Chains A and B, each alone.
Chain A
Amino acid sequence: MQEAMIKRAKELLADGTVNRVMGWKKGEFAYDITPAVFDTAEELEQDFVCDDLTQANVSKYLIKESRKEGRILAFLKPCDTYSFNQLIKEHRIIRENVYVIGIPGGPKIDVEKIKAKGITGILSVKNEDYTLKIETIYGTETMPFYEAISGKCESCKSKKHVVYDELMGEEGDVLDSNRFDMVEKLENMTAQERYDFWRGELSKCIRCNACRNVCPACTCESCVFDNPASGISQKAAADSFEENMFHIIRAFHVAGRCTDCGECSRVCPQNIPLHLLNRKFIKDINSLYGEYQAGADTTSRAPLTDYKADDCEPSVVHERGAE
């Protein structure tokens, strides 16, 4: 796949369709794949990477990139196209300035899951017939592919590209995913259990703001959490309240716009399951206001900027069974 992508990117650069390519390259470590912009065929040949470890969603970078001179080529996985489409809908990306090639999605590998097996000093990871061959500085290790699948791919919602100029590989379908299972499990707990669960998770937060910075839906030019007058800007949470507030508000600000791409949980250095908060909102919106998938189209109204005269009252929350 990687060779085919480089070849196609070179063609498009050569015939002048685009003047830059948005892709990925190796980061500080070989398994640490980072989004990058390539200007020339030589750079592509040298650094361009797209393998089983390439998880990053590049949609957010295209906000800035699409406002520069000329067209940019972007490779988008199915889940990334939802974010991209949502950004078009919000008039954040200039569509004409981006040439989108849809590439097949995951399942991708989460290197953290390999590390969790006690494998360290990783130099490279190769997938050979659904067995991972992991070269480390201590020798070669193997582990089954399915044990290292990243969290966001485990509950994949769609293999369908919702927007593209050209497609590599075959067109996929929207999947029947199990992504709300964990949310349901939490909902069925008692209030005390839920409280304890979230205290355990959110108290790990170091307020690095990675979840906010990576989120393709968080695109405000100035953020409420950067407001010096708010008393909560640029500092670690001092109290359990601040942890709760940051995460409630972060999830609330993307409610109805979150495409469930799973980037927030992927980048969290503390492994907090942040996507559960977003999914709770998605699940509520689906059940109370009708099925809605952010980014699936560019014309429908987002649930929170819309209403019906016979919407349910907030008392539905209080009427839910016993505590």
Chain B
Amino acid sequence: MQVNNDFQPVIVAFCCNWCSYAGADLSGTNRLNYPANVKIIRVPCSCRVNPMFILRAFQKGADGVIICGCHPGDCHYTSGNYYTRRRITLLYSMLDFLGIERNRTRLEWVSAAEGAKFAAVMNSFVDEVKKLGPNRRLEDLRCRKQ
């Protein structure tokens, strides 16, 4: 596949309010760089992310979706991220089963103290999605911007 170097992917990051969103904030205050392709959506808990949200993000033009939550065991609501983990594993596996490129989806645990990890994760994820090119298999043609 021809890689378009000018391609700037749209990345949707669902960040949990208590850990990852604060982690993103910390990476900002520390003046760490992460690409502007990443659009953060704050959710109360990673467990709030309905599978429909992920599909909707792809529909509306996302090229990659990443979910960030508290480390297992650290959930503000005790056990939310454990449920996330099972749910999202199954959903990603299903997307893979339907032939959607598996590297378009990711889940990472980022705590409020891990500003550096947040920036590193986003950098690597954007690089990976750039390699894959635009999302064509799970896009809605009516939503394509051109």
Contact = CB atoms under 8 A, between A and B. Distances in A.
Interface of A: 186-187, 191-199, 224, 238-242, 244-245, 248-249, 251-252, 255, 277, 280-281, 284-285, 288-289, 303-309, 311-318, 320, 323
A5 B43 CA distance: 56
Given A245-B55, A304-B86, A317-B92, A192 B97 contact: no
Given A239-B140, A252-B94, A317-B92, A289 B86 contact: yes
Contact of A309 (B73, B83, B140, B142): B73
Contacts of A196: 99
Given A304-B83, A323-B101, 18 more contacts: A187-B97, A191-B96, A192-B99, A194-B97, A195-B98, A198-B99, A199-B99, A241-B140, A248-B91, A252-B91, A252-B94, A288-B89, A303-B86, A304-B90, A317-B89, A317-B96, A317-B102, A317-B105
Contacts of B87: 304
21 contacts: A187-B97, A191-B100, A191-B101, A195-B99, A197-B99, A224-B52, A239-B140, A241-B141, A242-B140, A248-B55, A248-B95, A249-B52, A252-B90, A284-B90, A303-B86, A304-B87, A307-B85, A308-B82, A309-B73, A312-B89, A318-B92
A186 B89 contact: no
Interface string B80-121: 001101111111111111111111011100000000000000
B51 interface: yes
B121 to A, nearest CB: 12
B73 to A, nearest CB: 7
- Chain B contact patch, size range: 35 or more
Interface of B: 51-52, 55, 58-59, 72-73, 79, 82-83, 85-103, 105-107, 137-142
Nearest to B142: A239
Given A249-B51, A284-B90, A304-B87, A309 B101 contact: no
Contacts of A193: 99
Contacts of A313: 85, 89, 107
Most chain B C-beta atoms within 10 Å of own C-beta, residue among A194, A284, A307, A317: A317
Contacts of A199: 99
Nearest to B52: A249
A252 B51 contact: yes
B79 A307 contact: yes
Which 10 A-B pairs give the minimum distances between C-beta atoms?
A: A195-B99, A307-B82, A194-B99, A241-B140, A314-B89, A314-B107, A317-B92, A191-B99, A317-B93, A198-B98
Contacts of B79: 307
Contacts of B52: 224, 245, 249
Contact of B139 (A197, A241, A277): A241
Contacts of A288: 89
A289 B101 CA distance: 24
Nearest to B81: A307
A310 to B, nearest CB: 9
Contacts of B88: 314
B55 A186 contact: no
A241 B99 contact: no
B90 A281 contact: yes
Nearest to B54: A248
A239 B141 contact: yes
Contacts of A242: 140
A311 B85 contact: yes
Nearest to A305: B83
Nearest to B85: A311
Contacts of A281: 90, 94
A119 B103 CA distance: 48
Contact of A284 (B51, B93, B107): B93
A304 B79 CA distance: 13
A99 to B, nearest CB: 37
A307 B86 contact: yes
Most chain A C-beta atoms within 10 Å of own C-beta, residue among B85, B88, B91, B93: B93
B77 to A, nearest CB: 13
Nearest to A277: B94
A285 B91 CA distance: 11
